[in-house]
Amino acid sequence: MRTYLLLFLATVWCCLYVAPPAKAQSSNAAPSQHLVFSFPADASLKMMKVKITQTAYTSYFSVFNWSGGYAGLQHTPDSSSGSARILIASQWDPNTAGGVLARQAYLGAGTIYSRFGGEGDGAKTINPYNWTLNTWYNFVIRAWKLNGELFIGTFVQNLSTNQWFHTSTLAIPTRATFLGAGSGAFLENWHGSDPRFDGRFVRKAYFKDCWNRTDAGVWQKSSSRYFSCNANDAYRNGIYDLAYNAGFDSGEDAYFMEHGGNVTPSAAFNGGRTLNLPDQTNQPATPTLTIGEVSTVSASYNAGAVTVNWTNNNTKSPQFSSTVEVLNAANTVTGSSTETLPQKRSAVITGTLSAGTYTARVTITDIFGGVSTAKTTTFTVRSGGISGNWYKIKNVHSGKYLGIENSSTANLAYIAQYANGSSNNLQWKLVSLGSNYVLVNRNSSKAIDIANSDQTSGVQLIQYTVTNGLNQQWQLVSAGSGSYLIRTAMSSGNIIDNPGSSTADGTKMILYAANGTTGTPNQRWLLEDQGVAAAQMLSYSKNSTTESTTLMVSPNPASSFVYVNLPAKGKEIRVFNVSGALAKVIKGDLSGKVRVDISSLDAGMYIVQFEGKQVRFIKQ
């Protein structure tokens, strides 16, 4: 009887007991997975192609992992950069706590720089590249060492258009290796707790033609390669923990990774999460490459300096370094500049040239080591170059001359064109500031000015009291037949333009983008020397007290040199980068205007310090 009673009570307890609820699954991310390529030696260049065929938000298709960094394509719900489909490059700090940080050395058009944390700290760049499905992209990571730093540039080519894009260069203090021997790619669904982004969506990408190139220029294919799917993320992956697959697709001649949705491992996995992969069937012994190509060159001589500008064919291999030379009529090199700087498209070579015809020659070496055919242009140096005389500035199209609207002497009056005449309103002095000029009107003693530094195309130009600010500095760019583009020294590079090719008196001049390297006739200007010495006592806005206590740098931005105007005598000028590292020191009995060579510095912002004062400038 006792036994029956115990059984009865146990049965009642089981019926009445309510088990605690099981912990709800909070994450259902598609499992993270990796392709790992082994190579025999350290590389200064890595290259691989990627094609994405299926995607969803919170996807990272990392094309390259190297020693301390990675780069690839992301699909993010955050489109604040300008696109949801972005191009990213990242480099970890060598020692964050010790202050040894990664930094940005160059940002391509539209690229955004920031610091990151959470998985270590470092520097990252994002570009709204707006990549598309079913398109092959060729990624190149190119590293080089210079001035105690290791620079790592990320380049990508859209193989449907062949257009290259240099998104960024990151830098860390130099180390024994470049990028390391191994390479890796991965596929990640970084947000598994939101049904809009989680593992229910299939992501898939193909990868092929993975290369290493040693710093000695030797191309290497991977010696082995394998796939792995993270084995310890079952709780993160939830119901999609087994939704992974990879292999070699002979039709694409490429490796693939896929995860999420109804994806399942192939039989080759045999219940595991790793898979050795075969050699790529049709990968050649060395890659097929184009050679970098210089498309256009322009050159002009002013105030003891030749400014050479060039453009490259963007469907050919990107520039790595450049050599710019100036040759005289006897074909003898009179000056040259060589620099490893992929984004460089302008060089200033100093030295006084006598009157005559000269040749500027540009040769580039591309990121793969190919050397371009030299591209040349000729330019003429007239006796004395730009003189200290008054000039008239005539538009090639209209034949009209720059002046101030209604001969006004007031600030904010517009710059306009008028028929030729004897009025001082049509005469200008070109005041040299390094390789730039301030254009000062004879009648008003005021300078052509970009109001509020607004570089928007179409903005009307004004006159303003001379400040020597960057918005009053202009560059004369040779446009052929003795004409010039008058280009702002500000970052846009826009030029003075006669809108609509007007021939009417009083037409207000605007700032506008140049049409090609030599512009259209309404954008070109002729300088007519009036043979009359310009007065030296021009009305500048700064009084003697301000001038004597202000540290100034010009031109700004600059690519080869700057002039530092010292407010007093001193013994030392120090130049620091934005991370606070000392980049350059100039010592001596210093006073007045001191020329500082910055050609060896990397692109970026720098701080000049002198006798407790400081000023910033940008190296292009």
User: How confident is the model over 430-441, as pLDDT tens digits?
Assistant: 988 877 899 999
Percent of the chain with pLDDT over 70: 90
Query: E-assigned strands of 93-235?
Result: 103-107, 112-116, 122-127, 136-146, 149-158, 163-173, 183-189, 203-213, 219-221, 224-229
Token pair belonging to 420: 């030729």
How far is the C-alpha of 210 from the C-alpha of 63, rounded, in Å? 10
Say if residues 478 and 467 touch (Cβ distance below 8 Å): no
User: How confident is the model over 177-198, as pLDDT tens digits?
Assistant: 999 999 999 999 999 999 999 9
pLDDT above 60 for 296:
yes
Give the pLDDT of residue 145: 98
What pTM, to 2 d.p., does this model score?
A: 0.64
pLDDT above 50 for 14:
no
End-to-end CA distance of the chain: 98
| Residue 62: strand, helix, or coil | strand
Q: How far is CA 143 from CA 64, 114, 389, in A?
A: 13, 20, 49
pLDDT (average), residues 457-461: 95
Give the pLDDT of residue 610: 82
**Per mean pLDDT, which range of 203-212, 370-379, 536-545 is the poorest?**
536-545
pLDDT above 50 for 19:
no
Give the pLDDT of residue 579: 59
Say if residues 93 and 100 touch (Cβ distance below 8 Å): yes
User: How confident is the model over 343-362, as pLDDT tens digits?
Assistant: 999 998 887 777 788 999 99
> H-type helices in 492-581, by residue range?
544-549
Percent of the chain with pLDDT over 90: 70
| Residue 51: strand, helix, or coil | strand
According to the 3-state scheme, what is the secondary structure of 411-450?
Answer: CCCEEEEECCCCCHHHCEEEEEECCEEEEEECCCCCEEEC
H or E element, residue 120: none
Residue with tokens 């130099």: 174
Measure the CA angle with vertex 244, ends 242 and 246; round to 5°. 145
H or E element, residue 585: strand 582-590
588 Cβ contact partners less than 8 Å away, ≥ 6 residues apart: 571
Most confident segment among 202-211, 586-595, 608-617 = 202-211
Residue with tokens 């604040």: 80
Maximum C-alpha span of the chain: 132
Judge residue 389's burial from the number of C-beta atoms within 10 Å of its C-beta, 0-12 exposed, 13-18 middle, 19 or more buried: middle
pLDDT above 80 for 304:
no
- How high is the mean pLDDT of the chain? 89
User: How confident is the model over 24-71, as pLDDT tens digits?
Assistant: 557 999 999 999 999 999 999 999 999 999 999 999 999 999 999 999
Say if residues 117 and 163 touch (Cβ distance below 8 Å): no
Say if residues 86 and 62 touch (Cβ distance below 8 Å): no
Say if residues 620 and 559 touch (Cβ distance below 8 Å): yes
Give the pLDDT of residue 355: 76
Query: E-assigned strands of 265-318?
Result: 274-276, 294-302, 305-312
Judge residue 134's burial from the number of C-beta atoms within 10 Å of its C-beta, 0-12 exposed, 13-18 middle, 19 or more buried: exposed
Domains delineated in the chain: 33-276 (2.60.120), 294-381 (2.60.40.2550), 389-533 (2.80.10.50), 544-619 (2.60.40.3080)
461 Cβ contact partners less than 8 Å away, ≥ 6 residues apart: 414, 415, 448, 449, 450, 451, 496, 508, 509, 510, 511
What values do phi and psi take at 455, rounded to 5? -90, 10
pLDDT above 50 for 2:
no
The neighbour count for residue 536, using CB atoms within 10 Å, is 8
The neighbour count for residue 592, using CB atoms within 10 Å, is 9
